[in-house]
Structure 1
Amino acid sequence: MQIWVDADSVPLIAKDLIIKTAERTQTMAIFVANQPIKLRKSPLLVMTVVPSGFDKADDLAITSDIPLANDILDKGGMVLTTRGMVYDKNNIKQKLNMRDFMDTMRGTGVLELQEMSGQKPYGDRDKKAFADGLNRLVR
């Protein structure tokens, strides 16, 4: 198994948990981003800089990007968000539909930016849910 990480969007706390899990389980973790991020030297940690997109879906990918998650699932990969949610074929279409609906609402002006609450801060509950999900999927 390999862990693919959308490093552009992963919170620092989640990144640290991924690194610890990779080292504990001797699992390769590949961090993918459009600019380099700092990783400690380890044969299990790889930084890959790409222009955009994600065309390889091996094993487990960590991302909160819903269209990217859908593409990964279509290619046979598993997806875990940094808040501990596992995306699968049973729930990804609903997430895509909601994302598209909200995008349409914003585009038509029905929803003003100030009416949208945005994403809540990454807290201890998110950290625990992510760690539990990661430990469940990587053994």
Structure 2
Amino acid sequence: MIIWVDADSCPQAVRDIIARAAVKRGLKAVYAANVKIPIPEDELIEMVVVKKGEGVADQYIIDHAEKGDLAITRDIPLAAELVDKHIVVINDRGNHFTPDNIRERLSIRDLMKDFREMGIMPERESTFGRREIQQFAAAFDRELTKLLK
């Protein structure tokens, strides 16, 4: 099992939780981004820097992730592709993407994007604090435990 991290927009606190869990459980964690992102040094932790470009890191994860792996991303289209490959996917807030909810999440994402482009909705500023980190940590541990059974 490999833990795949869409690292471009993954908060430092979440990256650290993932790295600690990977090392503790003896699992490989691969962070993919188009720039080098600070991650802990360990033989189980890998930073893959892909070419710059829209979706290049996403495509790397899609191409390499396999059933039984776990992926962390806030990118809904990437999550949808991974769910279609039967990969367990959660976001950095601990929300689990499933075949039952991913299409709805895509539709909502597209609708909100259209609203913002039309000026109907202002850009949303969301907070990411202790509560969100705790929710992620709990969901991450739960999904890891399920996959390792």
1:15 aligns with 15
1:1-139 alignment to 2 at 5 Å? 1-51=1-51, 52=56, 53-54=58-59, 55=62, 56-58=64-66, 59-111=69-121, 115-118=122-125, 120-139=126-145
CA distance in 1, matches of 2:134, 2:94: 8
Q: Which amino acid aligns with 2:26?
A: Q
5+ residue gaps, structure 2: none
5+ residue gaps, structure 1: none
User: What TM-score, normalized to structure 1?
Assistant: 0.90
User: What TM-score, normalized to structure 2?
Assistant: 0.84
CA distance in 2, matches of 1:106, 1:134: 31
Greater helix percent: which structure? 2
Question: Which runs of 4 or more aligned residues in structure 1 lie more than 3 Å from their structure 2 counterparts after TM superposition?
Answer: none
TM-aligned CA deviation for residue 123 of structure 1: 1.1
Q: Which structure has more RCO (C-alpha within 8 Å, separation ≥ 6)?
A: 1
Identity %: 36
Cα gap change, 1:109/1:26 in structure 2, threshold over 3 Å: closer, same or farther?
Answer: same
